[in-house]
Amino acid sequence: MSLSSQRTGRFLSDHELDGFLLLGDSLCNLDIYYLSRFLAPDRFALLAASSISILVSSMEQGRAKKESDAGEVVSTSDYDVMAKLARFNRPEDAYIEVLKEFLQDRNIKRLGVPGDFPVRVYQGLEADFDISVLDSPVSEWRKVKTIEEIEAIKSSQRACEEAMRVAIEMISNTRPSGEFLIFEGEPLTSEKVKSAIDVSLLERGCEAQDTIVAGGANAADPHCSGTGPLPANSPIVIDIFPRSKGSRYFADMTRTVLRGEADPEIVEIYQAVLEAQDAGIAAVRAGTTGKEVHAKVCEVFEERGYVEREGRGFIHSTGHGVGLEIHEMPSLSEVGKTLEEGNVVTVEPGLYYPNLNGVRLEDLVVVRKGGCDNLTNLEKRFIL
């Protein structure tokens, strides 16, 4: 019996269920993708019972049988969906009838569904099944990564590092002139650097959205993606979080660089962030909590005099899980729970001051019993 089957069996037994039903497309519903490993832009049903069964359209049945990890692939045409479409006024009513027969054929009486389950489908099923609305257990299962998942994340991280090298080299090849950085005779813009990052990632089978290349006042806002000419003599935060188009797994890393002359106070802030990140990475290990790791980072900032005040300073958590989503469990924060071997998390402290801009550093690590493995190889060099 697979680990997935064991987990499913325990969950169903604990909640006295015959099966747990998920409904959606696997591009957006990562729990469905995780259980089926079948990537489809159109909605399909996944039943987790003694094994994984998926109900797809006739168009997708052949591909699903070849590509998915499901124990059973069934088509809506097996339940005469076209005849049902002719009989009902609404296509959704026909689909609900198909679902009913699909579930009844598998002896499902007590059914679990997640909280985001479609209301109309729920209403169509509730007369025939004893339905419990529960938190999906799958996001919890996804926290601990398999060897294969870690390798997929590592591959995405290598692509991320190459894109980061491209960005840093482009900034390094500029000439500070007045307020801005000049590249090939023109001010280097955030947009131009992000385009170079995108090309690098695409060449390595990855894609990214909302990449951050933020300098000047923009760098003081942790999630500002950046726009316009990049400043000379001022920190530039580069945060890249690509996803592999093949494996679907994310990576994540941040570097802060400066081209030109650095104000001594900014250098001190950078050193504080670097020291805090080192402390955070050193604290990561199985059995400790995300809260304890976060506290170690905060302790460094407090000792160096960088205490958060009214939205200034260290204004976010230390890190988050990375996998099929860029932000998933576990968290390194004030509410972070116990870390387990195989968790993949970021360690990304930062300091932000509107009058001095911002600095953030981020590495991606795998939690182990005696510490962690850092998946991030790229150096941390501030002044270029």
The three-state secondary structure class of 230 is coil
pLDDT confidence of residue 176: 96
Q: Is the dihedral of CA 360, 363, 369, 370 positive or negative?
A: negative
CB-based contacts of 259: which residues, under 8 Å, 6+ apart?
Answer: 171, 172, 174, 176, 181, 232, 233, 236, 383, 384
Fold of 147-374: Creatine Amidinohydrolase (3.90.230)
pLDDT confidence of residue 3: 58
pLDDT confidence of residue 1: 40
pLDDT confidence of residue 89: 87
Torsion of CA 275, 276, 282, 284, to 10 degrees: -160
pLDDT confidence of residue 190: 98
Residue 294 amino acid letter:
H
Give the model confidence (pLDDT) of 338-377 as tens digits. Answer: 999 999 999 999 999 988 899 999 999 999 999 999 999 9
Q: Is the dihedral of CA 320, 252, 370, 3 positive or negative?
A: positive
Closest CA to 75 of 31, 42, 123: 42
The three-state secondary structure class of 340 is coil
Q: Say if 3-141 and 147-374 have the same CATH topology.
A: no
CB-based contacts of 151: which residues, under 8 Å, 6+ apart?
Answer: none
- CATH class entry, domain 3-141: alpha beta
pLDDT confidence of residue 131: 98
Asked whether the whole model's pTM tops 0.75, one would answer: yes
How many whole angstroms separate alpha carbon 64 and alpha carbon 55? 10
pLDDT confidence of residue 2: 55
Residue ranges in the chain modelled with pLDDT below 70: 1-4
Domain ranges of the chain: 3-141, 147-374
What are the Cα distances from residue 325, in Å, to 60, 142, 239, 249, 376? 25, 10, 16, 7, 18
